[in-house]
Chains A and B, each alone.
Chain A
Amino acid sequence: MKQVNLDSKPNLDRRDFLTKSSVGLAGLAVAPGMILFDLAHGREPGEAASNLVRWGMLIDNNQCETGCDDCVTACSTENGFSGGTKATDSQWIRKVQLKDNLTGRVSSLPMMCQHCEEPPCVDVCPTQASFKRADGIVLVDKHICIGCRYCIMACPYQARSFVHEVITDQKTEVPRGKGTVESCTLCVHRVDKGETTACAEACTKAGHSAILFGDLNDPESAISKRIRAVATTQVRADLGLNTGVRYEGI
């Protein structure tokens, strides 16, 4: 605006105004783009998670092999839980088998917290322990979780687990304790270091590369390019939750 005032012509005509303001806008657009790029490659120490980023995953059902559970194993190893499937065991990620009765096609996919933009678990939490971080990761603050399990009821994806037993030998980065609810953290401790999730890493290592992790807000990220190029779906898209985890080929 200063530039406008200093101009010899006090009243710019419409054409001049549009030209000058569009130059200004282009400058603005470049700067957030650069910030986005920086954030996508790990934040500075001491810097808070930003809503310029939205972490998400794309799971390619065509690449996901039935019978392979490397992502599930990697998750339990990374986060330090047993990997058991008893009713009282925590499961942050599980393989779901699908069968199309018309065609007979059998496929499987990993199901975990979908990191919704509008998470029902956050809506129902009476203590605000269930919350969504600025970068779209849905977490449980176990310091204020009272273990009421309302969020477990609210989650349409059955993605949450309750810790029933006393736990010892937790991982340093993944505190877990009896009487609290937990779910996939999108490997938040790794993401904060600029790394990818344990499941995505294991899937790539197994040669399937069915899980693609990245920033949905960055138009240049691999995941954004992919969801722009191919048809992908959200599970229970009818609920309008805008999940951060999307599936391809289901």
Chain B
Amino acid sequence: MKMVTRLAAILFSVLIATTAYAADKPQTPHLDVGKGGQCVEEPQSMRKIHMNLLKHQRDETMHKGIRGQKHSLADCVECHASKTTNSVLGSSEAFCQGCHEYAAVKLDCFECHTSKRKVTAEASK
């Protein structure tokens, strides 16, 4: 009986340990951040509200013609397109697609907008 109790205790502690380990390392997506660098806002707030910023900017640009502001989709792609594929889509590591897959949120922007970084005349030479 004592043996059984001891075994149960060992099993229980192992279970606790594995659960704690899993909680320490959640299955966060491994993202290819592209060029990366300093984002236009705090990364933590960007994770939460980038869609609101983009939507606001989209209406300003579309209806009022205000361009070149810091919350533009083109600039997201400019910094975060993968250096290898030049795109924010295409794999589970790609910056936009990877996180949207993880969060199970449909990503509509790139139905119309390009997911590729603009290739400048100097870069293509």
| Interface residue ranges, A against B (CB under 8 Å) | 43, 45-49, 131, 133-135, 139, 141-143, 167, 169-173, 175-178, 180, 188-189, 192-193
Contacts and interface: CB of A to CB of B under 8 A. Distances in A.
B24 to A, nearest CB: 41
B50 interface: no
Contacts of B63: 131, 133, 141
B9 to A, nearest CB: 59
Interface in B96-115: 111-114
Nearest to B61: A192
Nearest to B117: A172
A32 B118 CA distance: 38
B65 A192 contact: yes
Given A46-B69, A177-B111, A178-B111, A172 B118 contact: yes
A46 B74 CA distance: 16
A173 B67 CA distance: 10
Contacts of B116: 169
Contacts of A176: 112
Contacts of A188: 65
Contacts of B118: 172
A74 B24 CA distance: 56
A46 B69 CA distance: 7
B62 A134 contact: no
Nearest to A191: B65
Contacts of A139: 62
7 tightest A-B CB contacts, nearest first: A177-B112, A49-B65, A48-B64, A175-B112, A172-B118, A175-B113, A45-B68
Interface residues of A, dominant DSSP: loop
Contacts of A169: 114, 116
A49 B62 contact: no
7 contacts: A48-B64, A133-B63, A139-B62, A172-B74, A177-B111, A177-B112, A180-B112
A215 to B, nearest CB: 14
Interface in B25-52: none
Contacts of B66: 46-48
Nearest to B118: A172
Contacts of B62: 139, 141, 143
Given A45-B67, A177-B112, A193-B67, 4 more contacts: A46-B68, A48-B64, A170-B114, A178-B111
